[in-house]
Amino acid sequence: MVCLRKSSASRRYCLRISSRAPTISIEIVHVDVTSVAAERRISDAKLYATIYLRRFKHYEHMATALPSLNILRAFEATARHLSFTRAAIELNLTQTAISHRIRELEELLAVQLFVRLQSGIALTSGGRSYLEAIRPALSQIAAATYSVSSVRDNVLNVVCLSAFAISRLLPALPHFRALYPDVRLRITPSAVTGRVALNDFDVAINYGLDDWPGLHAQRISIEHIFPVCAPTLIAQEPPMRSPSDITRFPIIRTVSPIITDEWPAWLQHAGVTSTDFTHELYCEGLYFSMAATLAGLGIGLGRTSLVSEDLRVGRLVMPFSSRMPSDSSYFIVSPPDKSALPKVKAFREWLLLYLAEPSSHALP
């Protein structure tokens, strides 16, 4: 509201701007209202105040109004597919409904989010920035909602290291599902989630020392570390007669914030003083290291749990018999408030029985 009122003092008028936000006041003093110049000054002040209030109203609205979750989901799906049609199919809406929600969001933000091209649509710079800001929030809302509801609908949230999941867990899950058909599984790679740190899971399979504060933990099996490679790799080179010969071959190294590369420890265990390899291939994560080893790109460092089946069927071989006991192991862990849930107990007991010890005959 913009108003002009006479003050108690004669010949003084006060121009006051008010809104629901803290009041902003402009006071004009010593104004002779009989002069044309004074009236023009008051008129200009009222004009500037009106312009300001229009701008202020927009920012005030922005500060209090938030888009609905349905609008944000429509925007995220459209931005991900860069298609109104595909977003509509995903959300089970009409294309017109998606367009209306995008338009409503653009009006609320006063920012154009998409541009239309001959080949489709594209995000504007503002749209891209907004997507990057809201996507983590939507993921957190979805994860929190799923976590709370999973206790009721018998979904078991399992967070697992990718290499262990692909090599050991997933091939064994048909057996678990046959025993417990009513338990619905949700498998999440631990490398792409912060759930382990937040305890936002029912069961997690981790690798490390026997030190899991705040968690119910049980060791799955004792691990040994040893070099492995594809048979074709050593068939093409002069034979390795001692562990020191390994430095002539390309070596697969693992770079990961979760899994520690144990090559230096094995070399010391085998009595190899030189750590200067002819060639090294660095892989982000143990799963990629194992895949590179299977592809014949170099000699990788295997773990009992991960390579026992590949050794048994001949996909990998051990160039040396030297195996180093590892200080670390795979553990199955659960938050204390979930460890006693029937679905968690069933999975833990099954895993410890079915996966605890890999086939011993696969290892020399």
pLDDT bin (cut points 50, 70, 90) of residue 245 is confident
Higher pLDDT, 115 or 4: 115
Q: Of the ranges 16-30, 56-70, 214-228, 339-353, which one carries the lowest mean pLDDT score?
A: 16-30
Confidence of residue 310 (pLDDT cuts 50, 70, 90): very high
Residue 29: per-residue pLDDT: 47
* pLDDT of 294 above 50: yes
The stretch 240-258 carries a mean pLDDT of: 83
pLDDT tens per residue across span 13-60: 444 444 444 444 444 444 444 555 656 666 666 555 555 555 555 555
Q: Is 220:351 a contact under the CB 8 Å cutoff?
A: yes
Among the residue ranges 46-55, 251-260, 307-316, the one predicted with the least confidence is: 46-55
Choose among 346, 334, 352: nearest CA to 154.
346
Averaged pLDDT score across all residues of the chain: 80
Binned at pLDDT 50, 70 and 90, residue 71 comes out as very high
pLDDT band at 4 (very low <50, low <70, confident <90, very high): very low
Range in 21-30, 54-63, 81-90, 191-200 with the lowest mean pLDDT: 21-30
| 185 pLDDT higher than 90 | yes
Split at pLDDT 50, 70, 90, the class of 241 is: confident
> Are the beta carbons of 341 and 203 closer than 8 angstroms?
no
- Beta strand pairing status for 300-303 and 224-228? antiparallel
Q: Which CATH class is domain 154-222+329-362?
A: alpha beta
Higher pLDDT, 81 or 191: 81
In this predicted model, what pLDDT tens digit does every residue of 121-152 receive, in sequence order? 999 999 999 999 999 898 888 877 766 665 55
The stretch 254-268 carries a mean pLDDT of 79
Rounded to 5 degrees, φ, ψ at 189 are -65, 130
CATH of domain 224-325: 3.40.190.10
Of the two residues 155 and 351, the one the predictor is more confident about is 351
Mean of the pLDDT values across residues 51-70? 63
Structure confidence at residue 315 (pLDDT): 95
Looking at residue 53, what is its pLDDT? Answer: 53
Task: Convert the chain into a string of H (helix), E (strand) and C (coil).
Answer: CEEEEECCCCCCEEEEECCCCCCEEEEECCCCCCCHHHHHHHHHHHHHHHHHHHHHHHHHHHHHCCCCHHHHHHHHHHHHHCCHHHHHHHHCCCHHHHHHHHHHHHHHHCCCCEEEECCEEEECHHHHHHHHHHHHHHHHHHHHHHHHHHHHHCEEEEEECHHHHHHHHHHHHHHHHHHCCCCEEEEEEHHHCCHHHHCCCCEEEEEECCCCCCCEEEEEECCEEEEEECHHHHHCCCCCCCHHHHHHCEEEEEECCCCCCCHHHHHHHCCCCCCCCCEEEEEECHHHHHHHHHCCCCEEEEEHHHHHHHHHHCCCECCCCCCEECCCEEEEEECCCCCCCHHHHHHHHHHHHHCCCCCHHHCC
* pLDDT higher than threshold 60 for residue 11: no
69-146 and 154-222+329-362, same CATH topology: no
Pairing of strands 224-228, 329-334: unpaired
Q: Answer with the residue of higher pLDDT: 251 or 191.
A: 251
- Look up the CATH architecture of domain 69-146: Orthogonal Bundle (1.10)
Averaged pLDDT for residues 276-282: 85
Which pLDDT value is given to residue 55? 54
Residue 24 CB partners (closer than 8 Å, separation 6+): 17, 18, 52
pLDDT of res. 18: 45
| Residue 334 and residue 348 in contact, taking contact as beta carbons nearer than 8 Å | yes
Report the percent of the chain where pLDDT is more than 90. 46
Q: What token pair was written down for 66?
A: 């938030």
**Domain map of the chain by residue range?**
2-64, 69-146, 154-222+329-362, 224-325
